[in-house]
Structure 1
């Protein structure tokens, strides 16, 4: 038995309460009726449909919702791309088994009808897309933090008071720093914080719980399998085992196939522990949308000769990305110093990557090699 296509089901869901607020962002409130009106307007234009794969990495969540509801029901979330070029994963109609898995996830992380959900995770990726569509399906007002500067994120959180906050570890870490700078005397109280798409370190988990007085959940999964575990416990319909140090998962989203996900263990109680990626690479504190594009973007700047993007260990995040920039050897020392103080300063280069490729692609550190070295 197949259920309705995702877009059809969500359109019907929104139509039952047209005045309900479905999204809050820097542009204000978006109500269900207004969202459906935009869907109908796009459909009447007769242009080629926009796909999720066509949207930029930091597309606002209202654009993501509009794209899904105006589409043909096929979802194409992108993988994180932390070990290579991001891939798309096609999703068709939802089956009863898949729905049971998703409902179990929402129950465990505290998503209930009417509760406000704030998201830091880009909606074109599996994590952010799942939370955005889940909020719409459960009639949870969705707060879009994905494309906002740090100060505006804190202001929007203070205004909306979400019950659930979700993001990658790198996003949550950045939010802690932003709250310390811009929070003022209005301490945020967020009952549930949901981390996904990368390893959540014990230190970051403790910091989130203490700062927001939150119950922190670590959700593990992949684009191909969907969400697998919450705090190490498998979701409904998920079968996961460890063979020769590799985790193998079969879920309602894998069409009966058993897929290798990552390195890890499963203890006698069935609790899953992830130890690292199956290919031996190191996650960089969050996803990098297009590592090669980060390099190309930085190399295209005036005065830059070569760029190397690598991952180094980090006591707080587990790992961090470092962009090693070598300046053009033909530059005079004076010109090199002037560029490093202005257009090529670490802050300027990180801001450039954030603007062009999204927050999760930003190197956490920029190091320079001077001309001639």
Structure 2
């Protein structure tokens, strides 16, 4: 690094430290802080988190899930028992163990993550949408030694020939219950691990088999401070985390909430009515979700209007595109509390739109966060001016260098190609128009399916929609729209009239197909195999 770069980095780290102090993260007695920081220094940010939290936030409730409440003391003791048991069960001299986690949102998913990190493991977060094929391919590629899973995923992991432990089950305790392993470990904090823990977060797999995005545990304050600077989470509150903890968005908020001494409220499966009840009864200050979850809650209509949400300061969306119509609707119902985070598995988060940003420009993704640089480039890599659309290139404090298969999307200048297209406006806000790799050329026109999807979702009688390209003998490719009817009357003519009123003729889908449902993954994106099956059935 040049002297100028080092100075700039030091300045940003100082800003980050001040932000964390204002957020209430640096708290507790001097002795408690020394004990907590020492645990993090010995076991790493994830592995040392439980010991830090129990030292600084002793006695407070850490997590409320479908099984009940877990205090920070219980969280630390259970994590240390599991870490010591994992060290004994997977010990192999000179070899770093690799552990996969296939769990929904519950306390033991986070206990397993922190315990595996404290044991010096390489942790791979598997998606709840995985079937046997995805598990088999990822397990082989990432060389998994063990998988911790929920009972509902038993069929998906049945072919895995490594160690397996069941974290969540209903009914009788299974022979491979994680609880049995926890009981074998000592409650004392484990020693410094032989290997530094690392984390692999998988891409969404929307364009094929998920890739592994490896990252060392964070060694910069900018990763946490950049988010807290825009999304004002604070200590001593309750946070309903509905976004999945196995994706970067949910995982980051989970760790920040615990570090702040707040309480995580977790449900294994999202249900809008239950989530609304939790917001009111638990007096949650924040609701962390993906766009589909926010839309489903707003669909409750009068129930939301009648609910006491006076404690709700933050509704934060991430993981998928947030369309302008949903932004406006959410602001009308919840008030000026909506935040929109834009990021990727490879780059972590990139920009965050505050309620002020969204009031002025509902379709924006906000401004780049602390330490992040965004550049809009043309096809030759040259920077585009304000207002001109191009490829979105970023350089962030937490971006990966390469995938686990060795491929990379970063250039020699350190900028990572997000795979998205967009532009910056005069106020420095980023606007994302769609995926670069999903653009099609239809009759000589460049068309982005996401642009049409967003317009379809603004129709009051459309509950859901997905737009995909299909081959066309005359035009090369054309768009096909799969539409789920909501309330009210809706036919093909109404759909076409709605699109025609908003977009040029070249964006009109040639095919309008009505379907009963469009299953979405935990991140809020329509599942790839769903679109493949629909495409085949309507060929």
Per the TM superposition, whether the score is higher than 0.5 is: yes
2:61 corresponds to: 21
In the TM superposition, what is the alpha-carbon distance from 1:216 to its structure 2 partner? Answer: 1.0
1:327 corresponds to: none
Of residues 440, 446, 458, the one that matches 1:316 is 458
Of residues 257, 260, 264, the one that matches 2:422 is 264
Residues 91-110 of structure 1 correspond to what in structure 2 (within 5 A)? Answer: 91-96=215-220, 99-110=221-232
Residues 1-373 of structure 1 correspond to what in structure 2 (within 5 A)? Answer: 4=41, 5-16=44-55, 17-45=57-85, 46-48=88-90, 53-56=100-103, 59-72=104-117, 73-96=197-220, 99-145=221-267, 147-177=269-299, 179-180=300-301, 183=304, 185-189=306-310, 190-231=312-353, 232-244=366-378, 245-254=390-399, 257-261=414-418, 262-280=420-438, 314-316=456-458, 320-321=465-466, 360=524
C-alpha contact (below 8 Å) 1:165/1:194 kept by paired residues:
yes
| TM-score, normalised relative to structure 1 | 0.72
CA distance in 2, matches of 1:93, 1:368: 40
Q: What is the count of residue pairs matched by the alignment?
A: 315
C-alpha contact (below 8 Å) 1:218/1:230 kept by paired residues:
yes
C-alpha contact (below 8 Å) 2:47/2:114 kept by paired residues:
yes
CA distance in 2, matches of 1:283, 1:133: 35
1:333 corresponds to: none
SS at match of 2:253: helix
CA distance in 2, matches of 1:88, 1:174: 30
In the TM superposition, what is the alpha-carbon distance from 1:117 to its structure 2 partner? Answer: 1.7
CA distance in 1, matches of 2:286, 2:454: 31
Alignment CA distance shift 1:150-1:273 (3 Å): closer
In the TM superposition, what is the alpha-carbon distance from 1:253 to its structure 2 partner? Answer: 1.6
C-alpha contact (below 8 Å) 1:52/1:76 kept by paired residues:
no
In the TM superposition, what is the alpha-carbon distance from 1:181 to its structure 2 partner? Answer: 6.8
Structure 1 unaligned blocks of 5 or more: 286-310, 325-345
SS at match of 1:122: coil
C-alpha contact (below 8 Å) 1:61/1:132 kept by paired residues:
no
Q: Deviations over 1:61-86 (max 9, x none)?
A: 31331122101332222323333333
Q: Deviations over 1:315-371 (max 9, x none)?
A: 3399724889xxxxxxxxxxxxxxxxxxxxx88x87xx68xx7584677x99999x9
SS at match of 1:11: helix
C-alpha contact (below 8 Å) 1:265/1:273 kept by paired residues:
yes
Find the structure with the greater CA-based Rg: 2
Structure 2 unaligned blocks of 5 or more: 1-9, 11-39, 92-96, 118-196, 354-365, 379-389, 402-412, 440-447, 467-480, 484-514
CA distance in 2, matches of 1:8, 1:280: 39
CA distance in 2, matches of 1:207, 1:52: 42
Note the aligned Cα RMSD (angstroms).
3.7
CA distance in 2, matches of 1:37, 1:283: 49
SS at match of 1:217: strand
SS at match of 1:76: strand
